Every structure is written in C-alpha cells, then in structure tokens.
Amino acid sequence: MPHFTLPDLCDAHADCIRVAEPIFHNYGGKAAFGGQIVTVKCFEDNSKVKQLVATPGQGKVLVVDGGGSKRHALLGDMLAEQAAQNGWEGIIINGCIRDIDEIRQTPLGVQALGIHPMKTDKRDLGDINVTVTFAGVDFIPGQFVYADNNGVLVATKPLVV
C-alpha cells in the first residue's frame, strides 16, 4: 500500500469520506493501514474474529463491532499473529485487545478502544459482513477504511493521495 496520512486523504477526498469519532488508540506494529472492509459484529465472543483471521486477508481490514465492551478482549497476540501471517492489513475493534506488548511487535495495523486482560467466551456467536455502525460512521462491507495515528476514515472507493 502506498504511504499516506489521513490529513492528506481528507484534503484530497473530502467528497467521498466519513471520518470516525476519535475514540481509537493505535496499538499495532503498522502505524498506518487501509483496505477493503470486512466486518464482524460480536459481543464478548471472538469466535468469528478467529474464523476470519484464518482466511486470506490481502488488501483487507477487519472491522469488529464488539458493542464497545471493555469487559473482554476480542483480539490477542495469537490471533493478531495469524492475521499478519494471512496478509490482513489491519484490524479496527470497537472493543478491547490484550497482549499489547506482543501486538506492538506484530506487522499488523490494530486500532481499538483499549486494553483488557480477560479473554472472551467462545460461543460461536456473531455476524460476518453486515454493516456495523460505531464512532459515528457506518462500516459497510466492500467499502474502504484507512487508519493512522490521526484517526480512522471510511471511503466509498479506494483512495490514493
């Protein structure tokens, strides 16, 4: 992916973007990332996250709507490593992660609300590739998301500066 910054993308593409509210923290080994949106809607159960990071993710970003829960982590070091090995550009989580020191060393973009040491239950609950809404924007499967230390934005088409 070409180098970009969100301010440059906002300046060049204001007509086709939506900027998320500034609620995320950047935790991954890749500070800037972007790609086509794949979504998971789940609550305190990362079974579907585990399922998706095991699939090829080149050019894609996994957007996880965990309902904003800060009681369990939807991503840990093993799933982050698997996502990186399978080519995922990054993961954006409306929820928490754990194993922060290992995730910071993983070549994967990761943005989340915070950190929590407790893993989730595994009940195989959740929905894949449905529109999810949080941080004031709709994340629509097939559209595009970009993230860096400046924030997160969603675009209706792939962006270049």
Residues that constitute the known binding site for Mg(2+)? 99
Tokens of 74: 């939807």
Binding residues for substrate: 76-79, 98
Say how many CA atoms lie within 13 Å of 113 toward its Cβ. 20
Question: Terminus-to-terminus CA distance in the chain, angstroms?
Answer: 11
Q: Which residues contact 11 (CB under 8 A, 6 or more apart)?
A: none
Tokens of 101: 């020191």
Binding residues: 76-79, 98-99
The three-state secondary structure class of 22 is: coil
Pairing of strands 25-26, 33-41: unpaired
